[in-house]
Copies of this chain bind each other. A is one copy, B any other.
Amino acid sequence: MARKNTDIRQEEIKQAVLDIIFTDGLKNLSTSNLAKRIGMSEGSIFRHFPTKQDIIISIIEDVQNDFIGQLRIIANSSLPPTERLQKFLCATVNYLTDNKGITMLLFSEASHNNDAALKSSLQQIFNNQKQLVSKIILDGIALGIWDESIPVENVAMLYMGIPVSLNIDLILSGGEFHADNFCSKMLQLILKILKK
């Protein structure tokens, strides 16, 4: 097979991992299947990643940087809180529906491996989202837009249920989730909770 730089190969490998997870399930993610999917030899994979586990870790790091990074920009922007919340929610829904392999990876990896480092990364992704939502809500309360007596922590937890149960729906339905205006309808519900 033609030579390519490690950074290119790493991207190809990570993409193939997500591809396999989505089409065949995590169970079928073997280095042998991975090599076949890319069309390279199995040994070659280990030129670009020291272990199979390191591929997974690298993917999770990507999620931190790309997805959480994007949400952080929205949450910290100077837009009105209501608008921030809307962009935040829709960005989440879009990311999850566009990256179904990642969805399945995050979900199963936590309970599959019981690896401490991995769990901690996943916990960070989960908690970062919760914190960013809390920030938006607190900003809205500070501006006098929303009810200051609501338990912010609990609303954030309820909010997190939206992406997470969307995740489950996506996995169980094989990726065919098509609720019209899903994110705007969900936003209305959350706004009703926040209303004074």
Contacts and interface: CB of A to CB of B under 8 A. Distances in A.
Secondary structure dominating the interface of A: helix
Interface stretch (A44-52, A79-87, A161-169): A161-169
Interface stretch (A55-63, A66-74, A102-110, A136-144): A102-110
Tally of this chain's copies: 2
A112 B192 contact: no
B193 A189 contact: yes
A154 B185 contact: yes
Contact of A161 (B25, B105, B111, B158): B158
A122 B189 CA distance: 27
Given A107-B111, A123-B172, 6 more contacts: A24-B114, A154-B185, A158-B158, A161-B162, A161-B164, A161-B165
In the A-B complex, the 4 residue pairs with the closest CB atoms: A161-B161, A25-B114, A104-B111, A108-B111
